[in-house]
Amino acid sequence: MIETLLAFVVATAGGLVPILNIEVYLLGAVATLDDGALVAMAVAAAVGQTLGKIPYYYVGKGTITAPWLKRRAATPGKWATRMADWRAKAEARPIWGAGLLALSSFASIPPFMVVSVLAGVVRMNLVLFCVLTFVTRLARFLILVLAPAWALSHLPG
């Protein structure tokens, strides 16, 4: 139970501060916990990461101000150009924007923090943002915690 609560706390903090890595925490738990506890931790981590990305969504929407983000967006360069391209595509094709969010949330390519801001910029529905984030983060974390046990059980010998 305490492991699940800690997974939630670490995931929420990691959602807010990208240098904190929930994946490392979950992988550490793989060696010591059974599958039921790992699934509970993956769910808690997915909830925590979803909550941790909501402030970035609101930064993009303009509800929360972030001077560092405004400076970064105003700086000409590859980042600003890509963001403008993604924004144009997401505004023109909402399904493309949802797909980009799902890909980013699952694979972290493009960076999930950036795409969370973009979701707010294009005014993606907050419920859709949260559902997509939760489902794809949960899939990511379940694979992360269950794949090692599955792989070990299928080794010859």
Pair of tokens at residue 9: 């706390």
pLDDT tens for each residue of 138-148: 999 999 999 98
Residue 10 near residue 47 (C-beta atoms within 8 A): no
pLDDT tens for each residue of 3-48: 999 999 999 999 998 889 999 999 988 888 888 899 999 999 999 9
pLDDT tens for each residue of 65-93: 767 666 655 566 676 677 778 778 878 88
The half-sphere exposure of 101 on its side-chain side, counting CA atoms within 13 A, is 32
Q: How far apart are CA 50 and CA 8, in angstroms?
A: 10
CB within 8 Å of 157: residues ≥ 6 apart: none
Indicate whether 131 pLDDT > 70: yes
Q: How far apart are CA 131 and CA 153, in angstroms?
A: 32
| Stated pTM of the model | 0.86
